[in-house]
Amino acid sequence: MTSSNITSPIARLLIVDDEEPQMKALCETLGNHGYETIGFTSAKAGLAAMRESKFDLLLSDLTMPEMDGITLMRAALEIDADLVAIIMTGQGTIETAVEAMKTGALDYILKPFKLSAVILVLSRALAIRQLRIENADLQRRIRQNAEEVQKANQELESFTHSVSHDLRAPLRAIGGFSNILLKDFGAEIPEEAQRLLKVVISSAGQMAQMIDGLLKFCRLNRHSLAMQPVNLASLAKQVVQELQGKNAQRIRVKIGDLPDCVGDPVLLKQAFVNLVSNAFKFTSRAENPLVEIGCHPGTTEHTYFVRDNGVGFDMAYAQKLFGVFVRLHSEEEFEGHGVGLSIVQRIIQRHNGRIWTEAEVNKGATFLFTLPAAN
């Protein structure tokens, strides 16, 4: 038996009840309330209809001679996992209906029916069905995105492997053979040619360092974050000691109160190494070089800073500063390849933080960045 409105139905219902008058009454009543209903007194006939057509809801009597409602429900869910099943039962078999819910039924309806109760159960069932479908679609898209990310990572791995091997090999040849040429045949080579060979050797070395920087930047996306409370005061002191031990003993460093944050200690150390070494580099020619490391504490996040009194820069170029291979000073003035700050920015972004800068020509620069507070 089929019943439906002329307008688009709310949902398609399969009703199975061995008591024909009750099944027909349900089909007619719910049909008048906007549902498309198809009813059967035979459970097997209902399953056959499911194989031919799609339904949104199954209303099945619990006790039937041919097949009980629980068995029918299980078979129906094997045909269509998106189907929502509701058991119809008498007062004396509520416990069995509850057991049916444990095995997959969404709800049950008591006989004799109250139309208001039936409509309420159906509305709730359709809402839950829609949520299930949306959740399944979300899970599918998450899996698809994960596969795409994995594929992208594999392509990136292939790229970095190519950079590591295919580009380094000719660079080594250029630098190596130029060195041999200069060493073994230098006396026979004109002075200007020797100078040009030295430029070739230096450029090959710079290119190798740029490749190293690019590889470090690419690997940041593949580094899994090990988020934990980080003692930034201890980390900053360690970085300063390591860098000052190399060639920056004359630079005075002031470390203020640095509250703990939450982050990946390995990546955060890399960020501090890049920022502090940058500050050391650009204060190296100052009369009284000073680098300050401090913090403006907040509630959910802290704003840390690294400040120097070095050469600074024009803030008109601040937006370009974090680009890969971007430099505001020439190689002759200050060494470097313009990758360090882009690495710092990526590290801070991966911690859901922000980074920006304040500077003035010949009056130093301050790099500020936010990290989540440890509390």
For the cut 80, the answer to whether the pLDDT of residue 206 exceeds it is no
pLDDT > 70 in the chain, percent: 85
**Is residue 5 very low, low, confident or very high in pLDDT (cuts 50, 70, 90)?**
very low
Could you give the CA distance from residue 29 to residue 358 in angstroms, rounded to a whole number? 73
280: burial class by Cβ within 10 Å (0-12, 13-18, 19+)? buried
Q: Helix axis angle, 265-283 relative to 232-247, nearest 10°?
A: 40
User: What is the amino acid identity at position 143?
Assistant: R
Task: Check residues 33 and 336 and name the one with the higher pLDDT.
Answer: 33
Strand-pair partners of 211 = none
Residue 352 confidence (pLDDT): 93
The two tokens of residue 51 are 């194989």
For the cut 80, the answer to whether the pLDDT of residue 249 exceeds it is no
Superfamily of domain 224-372, CATH level 4: Histidine kinase-like ATPase, C-terminal domain (3.30.565.10)
Residue 334 confidence (pLDDT): 46
For the cut 60, the answer to whether the pLDDT of residue 185 exceeds it is yes
Residue 327 confidence (pLDDT): 53
pTM to 2 decimal places: 0.53
Residue 45 confidence (pLDDT): 94
Among the listed ranges 219-233, 284-298, 322-336, 340-354, which one has the minimum average pLDDT value?
322-336
pLDDT tens across 28-48, in order?
A: 999 988 899 999 999 999 999
Compute the average pLDDT of residues 143-168: 74
pLDDT tens across 107-120, in order?
A: 878 878 788 888 88
Residue 106 confidence (pLDDT): 79
Task: Check residues 4 and 166 and name the one with the higher pLDDT.
Answer: 166
| Eight-class DSSP state of 93 | G
Residue 44 confidence (pLDDT): 93
H or E stretch covering 216: helix 191-219
Mean of the per-residue pLDDT values of the chain: 83
Task: Check residues 9 and 223 and name the one with the higher pLDDT.
Answer: 9
pLDDT tens across 90-113, in order?
A: 766 667 767 777 777 778 788 787
For the cut 80, the answer to whether the pLDDT of residue 245 exceeds it is no
Could you give the CA distance from residue 291 to residue 279 in angstroms, rounded to a whole number? 7
The HSE-up count of residue 193 (CA atoms within 13 Å, CB side) is 11
Say if CB 65 and CB 85 are below 8 A apart.
Answer: no
pLDDT tens across 311-335, in order?
A: 888 888 777 777 765 555 545 454 5
126-136 per-residue burial string, b: 16 or more CB within 10 A, e: under 16: beebeeeeeee
User: Which three-class secondary structure state does DSSP give residue 344?
Assistant: helix
According to CATH, the topology of domain 2-113 is Rossmann fold (3.40.50)
For the cut 90, the answer to whether the pLDDT of residue 193 exceeds it is no
What residue spans define the domains of the chain? 2-113, 154-221, 224-372
Could you give the CA distance from residue 206 to residue 229 in angstroms, rounded to a whole number? 37
322-329: long-range contacts (C-beta < 8 A, 24 or more apart)?
A: 322/355, 324/213, 324/214, 324/217, 325/210, 329/282
**Is residue 275 very low, low, confident or very high in pLDDT (cuts 50, 70, 90)?**
very high
